[in-house]
Chains A and B, each alone.
Chain A
Amino acid sequence: MKIVPSSANSYAYIIPEDEDKRQIEALEKISRMAQPNYAFLRGLRIEVSQDDKVSEETKSKLVDGKFFVVE
């Protein structure tokens, strides 16, 4: 893919190439066939910042005050 950098008048935008289009089509077919399996998310550490709006429950579970670990 090609990323056209931002300028004084516009944001950076993405132009997909043929390889990307083929990959996107293949991914669309895969995602039609099966529901994703969420098991792989276990152990994932998500860094939560001060600016994020999260529930008190999530805040109480944060490791080192900023990491939410997916169980």
Chain B
Amino acid sequence: MSYLQGSVSLITFPSDEFASTHSELATFVRQKKLWFYILLITLFSLQQAWIRWPKPVALSEVEELKDIMESFLSTVFAEYYRVIQGFTKTLGSVRVNLMLPTWKKFKLGRYMKIYYTHGGPAGLSYRNDELDLRWDRKQGTCGEAWRKEHSIIYDSNTAGYTGPERSLTKQQIDCVGHLKSVLSVPIRHKESKKIVGILNLDSTHNVDKTFFDNQLVVNAITARANRLETILFEDGVKAN
């Protein structure tokens, strides 16, 4: 009997302590209105998450800006040629494109993709497979410009301007392997500091005919790219 009594006492003792602690906690919460603060913090966190949650635009919105953007890209050419004519009256063919960050499905990361292009006075164009390519950070000059937030120069024939091996996938090499020089300029949103696009000039000629490594050219193109930051979409584009 005494054994049994001892066992009951052993079982009930912790429960009593818990009840007592719980009661004290409940009193503390009641007195200090902790529930109210917890609710307030939760609501504030939810609001902040909603504000910061990316709100990418739909492809239809990107499409609506096509005429304006292509007209803008033609002014990039004008600015480029204005600078170039100081050096030469003959230059290599150049195309220009604007890439925008695009969200993968379920917002699982982003990639860069071409949305707007211009082929200059000679009317050069991009192949469909080039337009469909996706570029992750560190892939190609555009990916590197995105990651480093600096302008990137590539030239297939100049030591110091060649790209790292294994930077591109086989599909990317098949599509853009014919390019001999590229200048990629990142476009940064002035308020959020996010990279909202990459302005690329590319050519099937080397820098001796495109002058992509010339200071005046780089500064002129950067100035044009900077003008785009207010027009572009801060949170990128929604995946198709």
Chain A interface (Cβ within 8 Å of chain B)? 1, 3, 5-16, 20, 23-25, 27-28, 31-32, 35-38, 40-41, 43-49, 51-55, 57-58, 67-68, 70
Contact = CB atoms under 8 A, between A and B. Distances in A.
Contact of A20 (B78, B93, B153, B215): B215
25 contacts: A1-B219, A6-B154, A6-B160, A10-B148, A11-B163, A12-B152, A13-B150, A14-B218, A15-B150, A20-B218, A20-B219, A23-B223, A27-B224, A37-B78, A41-B78, A41-B81, A46-B121, A46-B122, A47-B92, A48-B93, A52-B124, A52-B204, A54-B122, A55-B125, A67-B90
B219 A24 contact: yes
Contacts of B125: 53-55
B223 A28 contact: yes
Tell which of B120, B145, B215, B226 has the most Cβ of chain A within 10 Å: B215
A4 to B, nearest CB: 8
B160 A12 contact: yes
B97 interface: no
B153 A11 contact: yes
A15 B75 CA distance: 24
Nearest to A48: B93
Nearest to B213: A3
Interface string B108-152: 000000000001111111110000000000000100110010111
Contacts of A16: 219, 222
Interface residues of B, number: 51
Given A44-B81, A49-B93, A49-B204, A24 B160 contact: no
A53 B85 CA distance: 24
B75 A47 contact: no
B189 interface: no
B121 A70 contact: yes
Given A12-B154, A24-B219, A53 B227 contact: no
A56 B102 CA distance: 34
Top 5 nearest A-B pairs (CB, nearest first) are: A5-B160, A27-B223, A36-B78, A68-B122, A45-B90
B91 A47 contact: yes
A1 B127 contact: no
Contacts of A5: 159-161
A14 B226 contact: no
Contacts of B82: 36, 40
Contact of A44 (B85, B126, B218): B85
A23 B222 CA distance: 10
